[in-house]
Amino acid sequence: MSAASPGFGTTTAHRRVPPAPRGERVRNVVFEILLALCLVLACLLLGTLLVDVISDGAGSLSWDFLTRPPSALPTLAGLEPAIFGTLWLVITCVAFIVPVGVGTAIYLEEYADRTRWWNRLIEVNIQNLAAVPSIVYGIFGLAFLYRGGLDLGPVILTGGLTLGLLVLPVVIVTAREAIRAVPPSIREGAMALGATRWQTIWRQVLPGSISGVATGTILALSRAIGETAPLLLIGAVVFITENPSGPDSRYTAIPFQIFAWLRFPQEEFKNKAAAAIIVLMVVLIAMNSIAIWLRNRYQRKW
């Protein structure tokens, strides 16, 4: 800043701040461009990825592809059992994460006394669980749900519960935010009219936070749908020609089928995998759009 050039008089009444030296201005512009470049690069990668997948897979995408079972022949191989497998996984997953996740969120927001160490432990524990690698959940599922412990076997229920545990932190965190957004005056009003604590929660707080809870659940499910690693451990089957019929059937799922196809030596199966990726991405984008729509449509302004 030593460029206090003589041109800017110190005698005038209004002192002007000297403009930043040229080098400084150039550095500023370069820095901003570099920062923007970071985001451009991320967008570029995403774009390349989508174009690559679509150009590889679009040719294999057809109604037959969606309604045929897998086959050793790439021309016949289809995705139907995997689609139904994923659907069943989602159903079991929802039945598990909604009561448990929302229950935990209600407990932490409405009942828990934060000065107690065990309540703080629950919170820190959830934070940590959110960052445990998904394959470790697979190991947990293998040890307690598939084998020993519950001994459910390699079925839909095992898969749904394992994926449910994996995405539970997402549900809890978003449900807590939604519950916290309901202003205390609503609770106080209900209590003042003689409602019990649970009546207040069930009739006022939950209806007021339902859109946030639903959004969180959908986001959690969209994460569960894309997970592959835990399924490797808890016994999804590579080659299955029948659609699952209930929580006790063996299954395959879309991401698992993609993985299996990528393992085949034939090049044609890579295109099948790309086509399955397109299906998966369409489902995910649809779910995310629903979540965003729900949030915008039903979010209450208190």
Partner 1 sequence: MAAGTASATPGGRPPLGAARRRWGEDVIRALLFLAAMLSILTTIGIVVALAVETFGEFFADPIVQGKGADGATSIGGYLNGIADFVFGTDWSPNIRPLSFGVLPLVAGTLLTTVIALIVAVPLGLGAAIYLSEYADPRVRKVLKPILELLAGVPTIVFGYFALTFVTPVILQAIFGQEDVGSFNALSGGLVMGFMVLPTVASVSEDALSAVPGALREGAYGLGASKLKVSTRIVVPAALSGIVAAFVLGISRAIGETMIVLLASGAQPNLTFNPLEAVETMTAFIGQQATGDIPVDSVRYKTIFAVGALLFLMTFVMNAISIRFVRRYREVYE
Other CB atoms within 10 A of residue 51 CB: 10
Q: Which of 20, 61, 16, 1 is nearest to 277 (CA)?
A: 61
Give CA–CA dist 225/93, Å, rounded: 10
> Is residue 20 a contact point for partner 1 (CB under 8 A)?
yes
Of 77, 89, 165, 220, the one binding partner 1 (CB under 8 A) is 165
Of 93, 94, 168, 190, the one binding partner 1 (CB under 8 A) is 168
Q: Which of residues 95-124 bind partner 1 (CB under 8 A)?
A: 99-101, 103-104, 106-108, 111-112, 121-122, 124
Please state the closest distance from residue 211 (CB atom) to partner 1, in A: 18
Q: Which of residues 225-264 bind partner 1 (CB under 8 A)?
A: 225-229, 232-233, 235, 238, 255, 258-259, 262
Please state the closest distance from residue 12 (CB atom) to partner 1, in A: 19
Please state the closest distance from residue 240 (CB atom) to partner 1, in A: 14
Q: Which of residues 30-89 bind partner 1 (CB under 8 A)?
A: 31-32, 34-39, 41-43, 45-46, 48-49, 52-53, 56
Rounded alpha-carbon distances, angstroms, from residue 66 to 44, 76, 82, 261 = 30, 11, 9, 15
Q: What is the token pair recorded at 158?
A: 């095992």
Using CB under 8 A, which of the segments 4-12, 66-74, 130-138, 243-251 binds partner 1?
130-138
> Is residue 1 a contact point for partner 1 (CB under 8 A)?
yes
Q: Which of 251, 252, 279, 274 is nearest to 262 (CA)?
A: 274
Q: Of 171 and 214, which CB lies nearer to partner 1 in the complex structure? A: 171
Site map (CB under 8 A) of partner 1, residues 192-231, x = contact: ----xxx-----------------------xx-xxxxx--
Rounded alpha-carbon distances, angstroms, from residue 206 to 65, 99, 164, 194, 199 = 42, 12, 21, 18, 10
- Size, binding site for partner 1 by CB under 8 A: 89
What SS3 class is residue 239? coil
Q: Of 51 and 76, which CB lies nearer to partner 1 in the complex structure? A: 51
Q: Of 81 and 154, which CB lies nearer to partner 1 in the complex structure? A: 154
Give CA–CA dist 40/129, Å, rounded: 32
Q: Which of residues 266-285 bind partner 1 (CB under 8 A)?
A: 270, 273-274, 277, 280-281, 284
Of 70, 159, 169, 216, the one binding partner 1 (CB under 8 A) is 169
Q: Are 187 and 204 in contact (CB under 8 A)?
A: yes
Nearest 5°: the CA angle 178, 180, 186 is 105
Q: What is the token pair recorded at 19?
A: 């403009």
With a CB cutoff of 8 Å and minimum separation 6, the contacts of 280 are 225, 226, 254, 255, 258
